[in-house]
Amino acid sequence: MTAAPVISVRGLRKAYGATEAVRGVDLDVRPGEIFGLLGPNGAGKTTTVEILEGYRGRSAGEVRVLGHDPADGDPAFRDRIGIVLQSTGVERHLTAAEAVALYAGYYARPRPAAELLELVGLGGSADVRVGRLSGGQRRRLDLAIALAGSPEIVFLDEPTTGFDPSARRDAWGLIRRLADDGTTVLLTTHFMDEAQVLADRLAVIVDGRIVAEGTPAEVVARVPAPTTIAFRLPDGAVPPADLSVDADPERPGRFLARTEEPTPLLHRITTWAVGAGLALDELSVTRPTLEETYLSLTGHAPEAEAAPDPGIGRRRRGRR
Amino acid sequence: MSASAGSRRGAVGLGRLLVRQLAAENRAFWRNPAAAFFTFAFPLVFMVILNLVFIDVPGALRFYTPALVAFAIVNAGFTTLAMSITIARDEGILKRVRGTPLPPLVYLVARVVHSSLLGLLLAGIVALFGALAFGVPLPLERLPLLVLSLLVGAASFCALGLAVSGLIPSAAAAPAVVNAIALPLLFISNTFVRIEDGILVSVGGLFPIRPFSDLLQALWDPGRAGPVEIADLAFVAAWGIAGLVIALRTFSWEPRA
């Protein structure tokens, strides 16, 4: 795990007018790994990736991808990467095979169209016009085109959004095989399970900053996500305010408490209940799931550094 | 720079890329019935209708052949290119192309050359149709100047099409914007309707279609329409250069919709 990174980012910032979409991102992606960039819509994922792909300039910071500065727009750089954007069209009047062959022809090391279509499971649709492919098929065609030049790095921006569960499994298998063959994959997603299944390492980005980084297990372990204590009280009984227990808005009579330190809180709750002579029906203590870790990270990001621009909330940026 | 596509690719490589791109553009174009119809059938339909409507008007036949050659060039270069490039932009095709090692200029040159070739082919068909169906002689004695004029016109209207595409906010707005510019100008520029004097001659003369149309009238029939004015050709070319300058500033590879 000491190979030199193929993507190296230091202090990356990107401002659009007065708003900063990316506010100091550091990243290292090693050859052959699947790196997940995880975050809610508008967190700066797409902006970051589009800077790495060479689509956007940056306001500050150092970026090296395969030894190139992507901002130079060097065709030699573009020859070595493959890109699946969130939504891009293909000439709808060409057949799938013609479209893949057209794009493959732009690269120094083209792969045969038939092989690419087979790889993404479109072998049977080679002669179908792009305009007649289903949404899921077009997404797979996007991937075939991204792989057309035998890229060393593939950028996948939310590659399975809109897929049904079985199509997602297929896509995951395909991405895994790519990495097994030595291709580096940089994947953005807002699905925790996708990052969990695919990513060797991941970074969670919120409001333009990376708030957690590591293997999926490390990220979950490192992040103090709340444990949930839940119980039911008899009609009319209300816990005292200093316990910071809230009524469950969905189920009357039930109460919830979220805490990063469940042991003392549980002790205080049970002490109060025993003292008041109340039974805590349906008492449960639930440890954080991956989903909750992610929500905890994205819902209220750690305020370690002072925010330089108060008043700017979560931005919605880019396509959808 | 490392050994890779950019440095290995010489002029021959670029030429081959351009030819492949042109072939793909052409294949996609002819498979799109709407584009093929509006670009190709429109001038021919107008050719038949206008000639039949004005068949008793003296000189109408001789007027409409060069007039509709002008329309064919404007339609293929300006209207069709502006619309199709805007649609390609908003569908994300341009952005996808921009992420590949294909030099952006090769893509744009292929689009412009394809639209120009369509315009030239169409101009040839209209001219032949005029000659065979209505007995309007081809200006073969001025062929070199005719070809030059058609080439300059095609390139200029393509450049203007690219410029306008950069100003169109979305693909949905493309037909409205493009037609709002092209149709009124075509009507006051001696293409659909004959306008020999009055204020519309002066107004039309400010824009490139009227001088282009006048140029073709003179090429076809200098005895009737007056001598060929090279100034007209220069004026069209100047508009084309202005279009290119605007296109370079406003053209976008990113979807805007």
Give A132-180 pLDDT, tens digit per residue: 999 889 989 999 999 999 999 999 998 887 788 888 898 899 999 999 9
User: For residue range A60-82, what is the model confidence (pLDDT) as tens digits?
Assistant: 999 999 999 999 989 999 999 99
User: Across the strands, what pairs with A177?
Assistant: none
Residue B165's pLDDT is 95
User: Greater confidence, B250 or A88?
Assistant: B250
Number of domains comprising chain B? 1
User: For residue range A252-286, what is the model confidence (pLDDT) as tens digits?
Assistant: 888 988 888 888 999 999 999 999 888 888 898 88
Q: What is the dihedral of CA A177, A178, A181, A186, to 10 degrees?
A: -130
* Closest chain B residue to A66, measured at CA: B2
Residue A237's pLDDT is 82
Residue B7's pLDDT is 46
Cβ-Cβ contacts under 8 Å between A and B: the total is: 92
Residue A308 confidence class, pLDDT cut points 50, 70, 90: very low
Q: Tell if the CB–CB gap between A107 and B101 is shorter than 8 Å.
A: yes
Q: Is the pLDDT of residue A234 over 90?
A: no
User: For residue range A180-209, what is the model confidence (pLDDT) as tens digits?
Assistant: 999 999 999 888 888 888 999 999 999 999
Residue B6's pLDDT is 43
Q: Is residue B100 part of a domain?
A: yes
Mutate to test the interface with A, among B4, B85, B111 (most CBs of A within 10 A): B4
Instruction: For residue B81, count CB atoms less than 10 angstroms from its CB and return exposed for 0-12, middle for 13-18, buried for 19 or more.
Output: buried
Average pLDDT over residues A293-297: 75
Is B160 in contact with B79 (CB distance < 8 Å)? no
In angstroms, rounded to a whole number, what is the distance separating the alpha carbons of residues B78 and B115? Answer: 9
State what percent of residues in chain B have pLDDT above 70.
Answer: 95
Containing A281, the helix (H) or strand (E) segment is strand A281-286
Q: Tell if the CB–CB gap between A94 and B99 is shorter than 8 Å.
A: no
A79 → closest Cβ in B4, B24, B88: B4
Residue B212's pLDDT is 96
In angstroms, rounded to a whole number, what is the distance separating the alpha carbons of residues B150 and B120? Answer: 7
Q: Tell if the CB–CB gap between B93 and A85 is shorter than 8 Å.
A: no
Residue A320 confidence class, pLDDT cut points 50, 70, 90: very low
Residue B12's pLDDT is 56
Question: How large is the ipTM?
Answer: 0.87
**Vertex A26 angle, CA A20 and A29, to 5°:** 130
Q: Is the pLDDT of residue A220 over 80?
A: no
Is A314 in contact with A40 (CB distance < 8 Å)? yes
Q: Is the pLDDT of residue B102 over 90?
A: yes
B28 → closest Cβ in A87, A93, A105: A93
Residue A2's pLDDT is 60
B88 touches chain A (CB under 8 A): yes
Choose among B119, B123, B106, B124: nearest CA to B22: B106
Residue B221's pLDDT is 86
* Closest chain A residue to B34, measured at CA: A93
**Helix H segments across chain A?**
45-53, 75-78, 96-104, 113-119, 135-146, 165-180, 192-198, 216-222, 262-276, 290-299
Residue A289 confidence class, pLDDT cut points 50, 70, 90: low
In angstroms, rounded to a whole number, what is the distance separating the alpha carbons of residues A142 and B177? Answer: 31
* Closest chain B residue to A78, measured at CA: B101
B171 touches chain A (CB under 8 A): no
- Domain of residue B198 covers 18-250
Residue A81's pLDDT is 97
| Residue A302 identity (one-letter amino acid) | P
User: Across the strands, what pairs with A13?
Assistant: A23, A60
B23 touches chain A (CB under 8 A): no
Q: Which residue has the tokens 């990495």?
A: A179
pTM, whole model, 2 decimals? Answer: 0.81
B255 touches chain A (CB under 8 A): yes
Close Cβ partners of A194 (under 8 Å, ≥ 6 residues apart): A36, A160, A168, A172, A187
B244 touches chain A (CB under 8 A): no
Q: What sign does the CA torsion over B235, B239, B241, B242 have? A: positive
User: For residue range B121-170, what is the model confidence (pLDDT) as tens digits?
Assistant: 999 999 999 999 888 999 999 999 999 999 999 999 999 999 999 999 99
User: Across the strands, what pairs with A155?
Assistant: A83, A186
Choose among B237, B224, B239: nearest CA to B137: B224
Highest mean pLDDT among B11-15, B31-35, B154-158: B154-158
B103 touches chain A (CB under 8 A): yes
User: Greater confidence, B141 or B6?
Assistant: B141
* DSSP character at residue B252: -
Q: Is residue B169 part of a domain?
A: yes
Q: Is residue B5 part of a domain?
A: no
**Vertex B252 angle, CA B250 and B254, to 5°:** 155
User: For residue range A10-64, what is the model confidence (pLDDT) as tens digits?
Assistant: 999 999 988 999 999 999 999 999 999 998 888 899 999 999 999 999 999 999 9
Q: Is residue B70 part of a domain?
A: yes
In angstroms, rounded to a whole number, what is the distance separating the alpha carbons of residues A218 and A252? Answer: 37
Q: Tell if the CB–CB gap between B9 and A90 is shorter than 8 Å.
A: no
Mean pLDDT taken over chain A: 86
List CB contacts (< 8 A) between A78 and chain B: 99-101
Is B194 in contact with B173 (CB distance < 8 Å)? no
Q: Which residue has the tokens 């009579």?
A: A253
Q: Is residue B13 part of a domain?
A: no
Instruction: For residue A28, count CB atoms less than 10 angstroms from its CB and return exposed for 0-12, middle for 13-18, buried for 19 or more.
Output: middle
B4 → closest Cβ in A76, A102, A129: A76
The alpha carbon of residue A239 and the mean position of all alpha carbons in its chain are separated, in whole angstroms, by: 39
Average pLDDT over residues A85-113: 93
List CB contacts (< 8 A) between A98 and chain B: 24, 27
Mean pLDDT taken over chain B: 89
Q: Is residue B1 part of a domain?
A: no
Q: Tell if the CB–CB gap between B24 and A53 is shorter than 8 Å.
A: no
List CB contacts (< 8 A) between B24 and chain A: 91, 94, 98, 102
In angstroms, rounded to a whole number, what is the distance separating the alpha carbons of residues A134 and A119? Answer: 17
B5 → closest Cβ in A53, A102, A108: A108
In angstroms, rounded to a whole number, what is the distance separating the alpha carbons of residues B144 and B156? Answer: 18
Q: Is the pLDDT of residue A89 over 60?
A: yes
Residue B4's pLDDT is 44
* DSSP character at residue A21: E
Q: Is the pLDDT of residue A317 over 60?
A: no
Average pLDDT over residues A89-93: 90
Distance from CA of A108 to the nearest CA of B (A): 5
Q: Which two tokens stand for residue B136?
A: 């309007």
DSSP letter string, B53-98:
HTTTSTTHHHHHHHHHHHHHHHIIIIIIHHHHHHHHHHTTHHHHHH
B24 → closest Cβ in A74, A87, A94: A94
Helices and strands counted in chain B (H then E): 14, 0
The alpha carbon of residue B242 and the mean position of all alpha carbons in its chain are separated, in whole angstroms, by: 15
C-alpha separations of B246 from A110, B65, B241, B251 in Å: 36, 32, 9, 8
Residue B9's pLDDT is 55
Q: Is residue B8 part of a domain?
A: no
Residue B201's pLDDT is 85
Q: Tell if the CB–CB gap between A78 and B99 is shorter than 8 Å.
A: yes
Residue B5 confidence class, pLDDT cut points 50, 70, 90: very low
